[in-house]
Structure 1
Amino acid sequence: MRTQLTQQHGAHDTSLPRVAILMCTYNGAAYLSEQLDSFSAQTFPNWVLYVSDDASTDDTNRILAEYQARWGKDRMVIFNGPCNGFAENFISLVQRTEIEADYFAFSDQDDVWFRDKLERSVARLDPLGESAPALYCSRTRLVDAKLNVIGISPLFRKPPSFRNALVQSLAGANTMLINQSARDLLMRLPHKPSLIVHDWLTYLLVTGCGGYVFYDSDPTLYYRQHGGNLIGANASTRDRLLRLRKMLTGRFIVWNDANVSILRGMEQSLTDECRMLLDHFDNGRRSGFFQRVSTFKKAGFYRQTLRGNMSLVLAVCLRKV
């Protein structure tokens, strides 16, 4: 384990691990400054912010330029994004070879981090070393556009695993920190992969390749819920009904097709057990009713909540996985 993490260290202290904060922006001027200020307030100081902007037309680039002038170009680096959606923007950012760090923290443009977010997440992963992929994620405190607390993301009590990852994304990318070994897996993705969301894919790869996942039951940030969210928290009854509707229309089939395609392309990196589970999942979802139900039951795929598992059973029965 590296030197104990403390607030007394200065920025870019070589005794501390290096953290790259990876943030993609697009017309995020309304809330961007509050997020950037929360980076400045971190108790863990040894970080550099890398931003990939997808040709914003509001004041996003002006705000970024102002903070870069204030912090210095060694503290914030700005790139032009590929302008093909947030998932591709993120993957293009994480795959930039000029970004070097020990850990990589994913960030949204409209959240507000708790002051100890980086310190807590690095402290969890640092004792594990670099021998295997490792991922930290957490719950979030849900807030409205004005940062008034309106709830908390669901508490997941079951262990993270590939059996869970094949049918559910555990946590939002905005809470995640990964080590270099996990980043290496994302570096090996094909050019412009047909992925749905990068947090789910990261969870799949880390668990599938024999890595470690630490799920923190304590929130690490304020997750702003507003009209401009591309992906919300799915915490309300309305959100759950919307997800059920998407499942019934076959949306999950498309998502799973994309995930399976990527996993098949990286099959040699999966553990033997996870290759077997991927076969059960992929073959089972395309089998007849009785074989499909039997395969999913024997393989032990699960979601984190009773309601989630009930919807999984329904999806399997209706052949919507």
Structure 2
Amino acid sequence: MPIDHTSGSLPRVAVLLATHNGRRWLPEQLESVLAQEGVEVEVFARDDASTDGTAEWLSEQAANEPRLTVIASDGASGSAAANFYRLIQLAPADREYYAFSDQDDIWVPTKLASHVRLSTQLAADGVSSNVTSFTSDGERSLVKKDFPQRRFDYLLESPGPGSTFLMSRRLVALARDYLDAPRSEAPPQYHDWLLYVLARAHGWTWHIDSVPTVDYRQHDSNVMGANVGARSAFSRLALVREQWHRGQARLLTRVALSVADDRHRPELERMLHLVENTNLRSRCALARRAQQLRRRPRDQWIIALLISTGVW
């Protein structure tokens, strides 16, 4: 459960920073993390085979900043998610809270403290939020993620960018147990999906806050951008047509089943049957559940159409 800090001690947050060729933006990101107010911050960074001097810069900073620890790389991970997964496995297991940090954003100074407060007040093991995307041209816009949560939205979408996440110790422990367990298939391709699925399927509370806490930098090297505009829509549709998204939904449903209690298991087993079968009867049954699968009303209509026509 989230920890009560009425005694006056500052909450201790371990920030897991994954880097890869981010030297250009990393100083501004790290500065905003270390400047967090009302919490005790420790940063654990792991570089993933950068070639632009990122690893060397991190080592130089760690030599003069006791709150920054560089975790030695044990080989290239191959993706941002895999890097975050290694951080979950390698970072100290005894911190009160954990947060993910990208290498190119800017955090609002009260980000962590406000999310710790929400975690305590709402007994939430996970907190995320809206973000404000911005470009090098100075264009800023709200990226809204706080639509009301649905019964099975965690099988098809995350609760916002992973860079907004605050997670309890027991949630990160659950993720570590999942990652450490021998298995035949790779974990989900996005780390934020995994943490959200584990929390929700386990029956724990996750809160998506309306207040933006991250300035979310948009650039050509984004692994996952703000998902707005025609270009992003076409990219997502291509993934849907290639059955990539359905494949991830199957995997996430199996992850959910691995931690679900007896009360939720029958319903999840039914969902797994529906996402694993593409016959007309299964498509119609799954399409009828579209309101349970996505948070935003527009997305519910879209996913219902894609499922019923066999595109998804």
- Take 1:310 and 1:36, find their aligned partners in 2: how far apart are those partners? 40
The one-letter amino acid paired with 2:223 is L
State the 1:296 CA deviation.
Answer: 4.7
Match of residue 170 from structure 1: 159
Q: Secondary structure at the match of 1:188?
A: helix
Query: Please, which moves more after superposition, 286-295 or 47-56?
Result: 286-295
Which deviations, in whole Å up to 9, do the C-alpha atoms of 1:20-76 show, x marking residues without a partner? 00011111101000001112321124010000111211121232123212312xx11
- Take 1:291 and 1:61, find their aligned partners in 2: how far apart are those partners? 49
Match of residue 272 from structure 1: 262
CA contact (8 A) 1:162 1:207 kept: no
The one-letter amino acid paired with 2:229 is S
Identify the match of residue 169 of structure 2 among 154, 167, 180.
180
CA contact (8 A) 2:12 2:39 kept: no
Q: Once the two structures are aligned, what percentage of the paired residues are identical?
A: 27
State the 1:275 CA deviation.
Answer: 1.9
The verdict on how the C-alpha distance between 1:299 and 1:314 changes in structure 2, with shifts beyond 3 A counting, is closer
Identify the match of residue 53 of structure 1 among 47, 65, 86.
47
Q: Does the alignment pair 1:34 with 2:23?
A: no
Match of residue 193 from structure 2: 200
Match of residue 12 from structure 1: none
Root mean square deviation, CA, Å: 2.2
The one-letter amino acid paired with 2:5 is R
State the 1:244 CA deviation.
Answer: 1.9
- Take 2:145 and 2:169, find their aligned partners in 1: how far apart are those partners? 27
The one-letter amino acid paired with 1:263 is A
Structure 1 unaligned runs (5+)? 6-14
The one-letter amino acid paired with 2:270 is H
Which deviations, in whole Å up to 9, do the C-alpha atoms of 1:223-256 show, x marking residues without a partner? 0000111111102232123212221221212222
Match of residue 141 from structure 1: 132
- Take 2:173 and 2:28, find their aligned partners in 1: how far apart are those partners? 31
- Take 1:307 and 1:205, find their aligned partners in 2: how far apart are those partners? 26
Q: Secondary structure at the match of 2:128?
A: strand
- Take 2:17 and 2:91, find their aligned partners in 1: how far apart are those partners? 16
Which deviations, in whole Å up to 9, do the C-alpha atoms of 1:265-288 show, x marking residues without a partner? x2xx31334322321221112152
Which deviations, in whole Å up to 9, do the C-alpha atoms of 1:182-207 show, x marking residues without a partner? 11210111448332101011111101
Q: Secondary structure at the match of 2:64?
A: helix
Counting only pairs closer than 5 Å after superposition, residues 113-132 of structure 1 correspond to structure 2 as: 113-127=107-121
The one-letter amino acid paired with 2:249 is N
CA contact (8 A) 2:34 2:41 kept: no
The verdict on how the C-alpha distance between 1:218 and 1:186 changes in structure 2, with shifts beyond 3 A counting, is same
Q: Does the alignment pair 1:228 with 2:221?
A: yes
Counting only pairs closer than 5 Å after superposition, residues 98-113 of structure 1 correspond to structure 2 as: 98-113=92-107
- Take 1:299 and 1:25, find their aligned partners in 2: how far apart are those partners? 36
State the 1:314 CA deviation.
Answer: 2.2
Match of residue 271 from structure 2: 281
Match of residue 203 from structure 2: 210
